[in-house]
A and B are shown apart, each in its own frame.
Chain A
Amino acid sequence: MKAAVIVFPGSNCDRDLKVALSQSMGSEPAMVWHGDTALPDVDLIAVPGGFSYGDYLRSGSMAAHSPIMKEVSRFASRGVAVLGICNGFQVLTETGLLPGVLMRNRNLRFVCRDVFLRVEVDDTVFSSAYTAGQTIRVPVAHHDGNYFIDPDGHAQLEDEQRVAFRYCDETGAITDAANPNGSLSNIAGILDPTRRILGMMPHPERLSDPALGGNDGRALFDSLISALS
């Protein structure tokens, strides 16, 4: 598998994503600067977390208009897999590659902690190494992770089984107490209609190494390797 990580001014999880991808790939992804207008030939484009352009406007809205995003959209339309994590998810919704919006957390505070996620689907390039219904632990770290979409859009997501992950408690129960940001229906990650684009607020790259206290994120990267290699 060949991968590229997009780097915006203000990205700050680009290195973390590179480390996690390298660990699964056995080689390094290309790091592509936001001002570039061409992508190398890749099987996966990863959009990392951070505060692109400072996110002083709505999170991800400036980055959505950067030169490289035109190319990302072009690659996506060709079926190249795209993974957006945290700010990357925000960028993908602002770009229109994924539906819905990420609003300010319902308690208005930044939140950084481990959360439990229920894996909702295991038939995608991102999740084949998980089992649907499985509970995994990965961290969130965001101020704007409160996912919202209109009722029709929501119904479509559910009907098409495009909710990839939901916040849950340790036992896998979907409860309001386990929802760290107020997301509609505890949605933590969604797929586009082709199921080749995933946006998620939690950071699988931060718990892909037992030394850091957990390894549940690694299966996401391993899934990609097995699907795209």
Chain B
Amino acid sequence: MNDLNNVTPELAAEHGLTADEFARAVEILGRTPNLTELGIFSVMWSEHCSYKSSKKWLRTLPTEAPWVICGPGENAGVIDIGEGLAAIFKMESHNHPSYIEPYQGAATGVGGILRDVFTMGARPIANLNALRFGSPNHPKTRHLVSGVVAGIGGYGNCIGVPTVGGECTFHKSYDGNILVNAMTVGIAPTDRIFYAEAAGVGNPVIYVGSTTGRDGIHGATMASAEFDDQSEEKRPTVQVGDPFTEKLLLEACLELMATDTIVAIQDMGAAGLTSSSFEMASRGGMGIDIDLDQVPMRETGMSAYELMLSESQERMLIVLKAGREDDARAIFEKWELDFAVIGRLTESGRMVLTMDGKTVADLPVAPLADSAPEYDRPHKPSPARPSITASDVAPQTSIRESLLTLVASPDLCSKRWIWEQYDHMVMADTVVRPGSDAAVVRIHGSNRALAMTTDCTPRYVAADPIEGGKQAVAECWRNLTSTGARPMAITDCLNFGNPERADVMGQFVGAVSGIGDAARLLDFPIVSGNVSFYNETNGNAVQPTPAIGGVGLIDDLDRITRVGIDQPDLAVIVIGTTTGQLGASLYLREIVGREDGAPPLVDLATERRVGDFVRGEIEAGRVRICHDVSDGGVAVTLAEMVLAGGVGITMSVRDTADHGWWFGEDQARYVVALEQKLVQTLIANAETAGVPAMQIGVSGGATLDLGTEGEIPITALREAAEGWLPTYMDA
């Protein structure tokens, strides 16, 4: 087999394998791999597919709870949501492709995560996305925002899954490396969940979906290296999405799943046919003989190397029960999709690929899939920063002016321009639409719902990875709580720079430890996720961005809360302790022009106590309006509540409130509004629970009346909040 190829250590290095890794490959094979085999080693052992730098740390994360049906390691995480149903969800990055080709990069990111979820038997019910762009002043930012948003919409709108939430922020650290993280949530009956574990010698391995072309070859390898000035030359490695075919594939797969024919199923995502076949075989301890001539091809003359490494989209690999091929074929033919039997399971434990009657690769499955290199990379903790409170920062402008500036800032302004380009209502179950703490999507045909959100505050993680990691989980938990949901589980999408640098690896190690602590204390296990390293260009890394996607359960849609103040004469109450932490706050960055200081500390026991209290008051029917306090502090929270509901607030807090009180970002806080006659009960319950609660105002009127700080008409707030993004995009 080797005669045709001259695989050298240099060629291996071009494939991203280190000298040690290449030596290990040679040792596993007992010979030098040929080119096809080298390609397979390189993608299987890429950072993207093998998690070789992160595995050691990911193992420390809590992944279990009584309601967890399937944790990390499968295509997506699965939790029990009662009444015979499971929620299946995951978040994944598509950062590098989206920077190079924003429309297709983002679109195929959505397509990929949808497949991860429906391959397990779920009908997707919602998409979310967490987007990080560079400075608005950077010449590429506008083009990237426009392309990414159009790409996400183009895919999700066509396939008909509502895009209901997410986040979008800007920072110069993303100038050369935007982050596009896509999350899908689906629902399946608990007794019809499909896994990717091959079983049954002789069972056919079938290929369905689109044909295989030369697109996306080496996508996984691209995602495992830094960018430089030549990165745009990698445009041909970006795949092209076809949401129409994905829609057909979704319906055909769900139709097939209703029959009793499937043994195992996995989508062809990163590293395409290679990773799907190896992962299915390795999970089941099987081998596979694949006849590559049977693979449906888009172009002629494709080599084994290209077929195995292509990342053409909208493809699935399925192990069927022997003899059921015709039943399956009929379904895929109805949906006009390619269907081919390309191989059989064997007990050899080897992946044997043939083409034109010749063996073109013969590799042992287990060593490639399970014994990928694993590194304990050097890691250096981030230096501690001092805390900053109001006494350390002279106020720059009035509270009123500062608030208007903050609500019009790129991170806090309304993202309507984005989410109006997403069909967020298709499937007719979206109860709470984008722009709230968390979206709420009804479980079809019931009065129950799932709440879902994505969260991360990268500037906190940059300032203190451990606290920042905790905060991302805590904020996600708080956002779900704010809707009245019981937080259930999370998926994480860990975006960092080059792990071969000790400071970046230190950020990763710190953030994972913070995420783990918070997830343990809040009973909020991590059931799926993804790591994206090498988010840096020419040595400049992104702010560490461990995005957390959370799902919560709402048992009774009549007891959900909303953000907007929609009627007068309600008592407005802040719950939790305000000390005025301004370190790493948006006030400090947007008003003072500084990015220093320690982020607010996350006291997880307090977080839990306060959140459980708020949820209890919602469940008891006392609180109908609730918003968590996060970026921009109490002042921004109030502005958002007024904007969402259209009714103003008159504040009763007077002279004692300084800029720390208004804009500090202390954690574990909520603002709730309720009928005045219920206030006494709530305050009494808060005292019993050991939770601070203080009335700060009454709703009514058409202004946000800040007392001695003056008042702001809601119309002026709206103009500020709604104006920035459309103006920026049209400029």
Contact = CB atoms under 8 A, between A and B. Distances in A.
B428 A206 contact: yes
B421 A112 contact: yes
A53 B420 CA distance: 24
A205 B421 contact: no
A12 B244 contact: no
Interface string B138-167: 000000000000100110011110000000
Given A109-B150, A109-B421, A110-B157, A9 B244 contact: yes
Contacts, number: 84
A212 interface: yes
A203 interface: yes
Contacts of B659: none
B242 interface: yes
A15 B442 CA distance: 15
Interface in B413-447: 419-431, 433, 442, 447
B376 interface: no
Which bracket fits the contact residues of A?
Answer: 20 to 34
A141 B156 CA distance: 12
B262 interface: no
Interface string A30-55: 00000000000000000001110111
Contacts of A9: 244, 247-248, 335-336
Most buried by B among A112, A139, A143, A205: A112
A112 B425 contact: yes
Contacts of A56: 244
B499 interface: no
Contacts of B150: 109-110
B243 A54 contact: yes
A67 interface: no
B244 A206 contact: no
Contacts of B422: 110, 112
Given A9-B336, A111-B420, A211-B557, A203 B425 contact: yes
A141 B99 CA distance: 27
A209 interface: yes
Interface in A100-125: 109-113
A13 interface: yes
Contact of A51 (B243, B419, B420): B243
Contacts of B428: 15-16, 19-20, 205-206, 209, 212
B45 to A, nearest CB: 37
A20 B442 CA distance: 15
A110 B153 contact: yes
B645 to A, nearest CB: 13
A205 B442 CA distance: 16
Contact of A10 (B153, B154, B158): B158
16 contacts: A9-B335, A12-B158, A19-B428, A51-B158, A51-B243, A51-B244, A54-B158, A110-B421, A112-B419, A112-B420, A141-B426, A206-B425, A212-B425, A212-B429, A212-B431, A213-B431
3 tightest A-B contacts by CB? A12-B160, A54-B244, A16-B428
Given A20-B428, A109-B421, A111-B421, 9 more contacts: A10-B247, A15-B428, A51-B157, A51-B247, A54-B158, A55-B244, A56-B244, A109-B150, A141-B157
